[in-house]
Structure 1
Amino acid sequence: MSSFIKNILTAMLLTLCTAQCTLALTLNEIGEKLKNAGSHSVMFTQEKLLKDADLTLSSSGRILSIKDKGILIKQTSPYEMQLCITKDAITEYSAGEIHIIRANDNPAVHSLLNLLLKLMTLDDTVADDFEYKLTGDKNRYTVTLSPKDANLKNFFEEITIDGSEYIDSLIIRGTHGDVTSMKFSDYNISDNAVKPEDLKYFE
């Protein structure tokens, strides 16, 4: 399984929160719109700084949140790759090959998939897994998350999310000094956000 999974998965789980805050800012209020939303998609661009290698890697594509099924990441650059995430497994489709990591076989993946389920309906229960801080108002807010779970700490030290009506960007600070920056645009919450061919990944 490529390192793309480890480094981008946590970010993707958070970017799919089409959040709309109120003046009395709480995680419950940030997640309210998400709870009521159907399937939707968003474009992403990512830059990952690898500290030890002094190298920056770039990628882009679209993320689809498919209600009652999971998440589909369709990377288009620097190469085509699809990543299907459900509560039971992570499946990567790349260069004609299929790789699967099942939650039951990997404690770290199990922790991430459990986290996904919580973040799909983001509310104050996220405090079970994170120390968090919220600042701002409905026009502009920042959420800072630091993991409590030992398995999650293997992936990152801190996630900082900036948003307004939707999440605009986030920064993931890895455990070894790596930094991943992501920006989001072109949110689609219409009925055509998900195509029939996208659903085939969940069959």
Structure 2
Amino acid sequence: MGERFLLRDLPKYESIEAHAAQCPELRPRAAQAWLELLRTGSDLLAVYDDMVRGYGLSQGRFTVLMLLSCDGEDGALPSALAERAGLSRAAMTGIIDALQSDGWIASEPNPEDRRSTRVWMTPEGVTRLDELLPGHFCRVAEVMSGLSASEQASLAELLGKLRLHLESTQPEPNRFDANQFDATRAETSRPVSESDPSGGTPADTTSAAAHKGDPR
């Protein structure tokens, strides 16, 4: 959320193989799949971000609404929502405040523990979400229509397998923090400076240098 994969011009497989000849640790197929996943995942997140912004929401707010829509009238505790969404509790507090201010959700003290609150969708929020979801799912189907139904199933299975592998071998990523996101967004949207007329970041420059002269 808020960050994009910066390399747009992906190297061809032959170029990756040429680098592998100089670096035995480089596995060409693994590197090719890695780059394609990062590039496509970044592009999909950008599409998703545009979609939810069209609803007057952010990714975080839309995610919380979808979670609450599954919880029904019982609602959920903010701490549980933060865990399920992969957000920090501070970020979840900001999201809940915004959704409540806009009439999407309501809250009251948790009857089981008065120190906490329970939140749920308002009737107005349920109606508004029901109205936008058909168009949302049509857009999802349109984006994924580049693959057949069987290819979509295979992709979901392979990505699920990779996700489980990551969960079992890699440290858990940090919870998303709203303050960090704001800082990142401010940095990535900075104006172009005279010393950097292309608007590129150091990572752009590094990527370009790494692939300059590679066979395409």
TM-score (norm 1): 0.28
Of Structure 1 and Structure 2, which has the larger fraction of its residues in strand?
Answer: 1
Bigger-Rg structure (1/2): 2
Q: TM-score, normalised by structure 2?
A: 0.27
Greater share of helix: 2
